[in-house]
Amino acid sequence: MPISRWTDLLEMRQMIDETTVRLSEETRRFPAPSSLTRASPGSRGKHVRRSLGVERCREPE
């Protein structure tokens, strides 16, 4: 029994690998809308602006 379970696990893993490859190819073919991809960089931009503002405040000292 354990041997057959092991082969089942290997087959399952192979199927999962094939599915992930297929999904990654599909995501490359059909990129996500800009509204989804640009959600996180916007928050990063705010942090960058804040750090630049802090640097500007320190310069006159």
**What tokens does 7 get?**
């082969």
Pairwise CA distance, residues 29 & 11, whole Å: 27
What is the span of the domain harbouring residue 53? 2-58
One-character DSSP codes across 5-42: HHHHHHHHHHHHHHHHHHHHHHHHHSPPPHHHHTHHHH
Total count of domains within the chain? 1
Reported as a pLDDT band with limits 50, 70 and 90, residue 18 is: very high
**What tokens does 37 get?**
């991809």
Pairwise CA distance, residues 54 & 47, whole Å: 11
pLDDT of residue 16: 93
Reported as a pLDDT band with limits 50, 70 and 90, residue 57 is: low
Pairwise CA distance, residues 40 & 46, whole Å: 10
